[in-house]
Structures are given as C-alpha cells and as structure tokens.
Amino acid sequence: MKKTVVVLALFITTMTFGQKMKVSEGSIKNLKGIAQFDLEFDYSDVQIPKYDSEEAFLADKVALREKKAKGSGDRWKKKWFENREEKFAPMFIESFNKRFKKNKVHVELDNTDAKYVMKIHTIWMYAGYNVGVVRHNAEINAEVTVYEKGNPSNILLKGTYKKVPGNGAMGNDYDEGFRISHCYAKLAKNIAVYILKKAK
C-alpha cells in the first residue's frame, strides 16, 4: 500500500512539474497590467518523435496512406496543416480568454491594437493515438515568448512547457487533430493560470 502511495505521489509531482513554465528570460511579473496580446503561432522546425524532421514524418505517413488508397495521403497532409488554423489556434484562444472574463485580458490573432505579442512556438509534437481498446494522449513542447511588438528585442517573458497533454480529448478522439488541439487548450490554461497567479 505504501509503495502504491509513493508511486502515485511521484507521478502527480512529475505531472505537476511538467506543466510549469521553465523561464529562460524575463519575468512573469512583466506581464502585469497588459490587457491584450497579439497572438502568433510558429511551427518551424517542429520535431516529431522517431523522425529526423517533420518532413520525414509527413513523407512516411503520406506513403503509408497512399498504399492503402490513392489520394488519401495528400488529403491527410493537407489536413495536417489546416488543423493549425482550424483547430489548434481556436482551442488556445478559447481556453485562454475564458479564464480572464473578469480581468478583461485576452489574446487574439492579428490584433493590431495590442502592444505586445504572445508567440507560441511548437518545438515538439506527438499526435498520440486511439485504436479503440487503447489510447494515448497527444503531447506538445512549446516555447512561449512575450515581447514588445514595435521592439522585438524587448522580451518580457520567455520560457518553455514540456509534455503538455491533450487529456481533455479523452473519449471519442480518433481524429489526431482533435487530440492535438486539446494540448493547445491545456497550454493556454497553464499560461493563463500562471499570469493570474504571478503577474501581480
């Protein structure tokens, strides 16, 4: 019984630690008083487990699908990129903004009125899987940078989150885009809670 409790405690601690931002530059306190952010997403050089590059991953997955049904690989690849705008960004924005209804803080794509940019650079992505009898959450590593729009060298905050899970997608999540989108919802929640608690 004691062993079970210890293992469970270690698991919870590890999960909690993994959801904290590792700050490399600036401070969360620099975000105090900022009411709006111009949101940007960057997927350049994203790493995929077991592949040398995203290009290698895409080539492999397209080839496998094309063997089964001609045209299915290209359709899947098109969807892979469309998910970024159609699923990932909306899930992040909704998750972040709903936590600031009282504070009136919000993020928005192409927000020309915002003085500061919040850039989300996805540096690692695991799509997870669901084959009915067994499933695994999608996960992402992301670098978050907040900087002054007119002066990008003025970085207010920069840090990384590792192994952010898409555990909100448990259930009918056979679509990989749906699974990954929940990683962005979780990431947004982590950032929002960090701001609410520490940017004072």
pLDDT at 102: 83
pLDDT at 173: 82
Domain ranges of the chain: 20-198
pLDDT at 17: 40
pLDDT at 50: 96
Supply the DSSP string of the chain, one letter for each residue.
Answer: -HHHHHHHHHHHHHHHHHTS-EEEEE-GGGGTT--EEEEEEE-TT-B-TTSSSHHHHHHHHHHHHHHHSTTHHHHHHHHHHHHIIIIIHHHHHHHHHGGGTTTT-EEEET-TT-SEEEEEEEEEEE--EE-SS-EE--EEEEEEEEEETTEEEEEEEEEEEEEEE-GGG-SS--SHHHHHHHHHHHHHHHHHHHHHHH--
pLDDT-flagged residues of the chain (< 70):
1-18
pLDDT at 2: 47
pLDDT at 11: 39
pLDDT at 176: 93
pLDDT at 16: 42
pLDDT at 6: 37
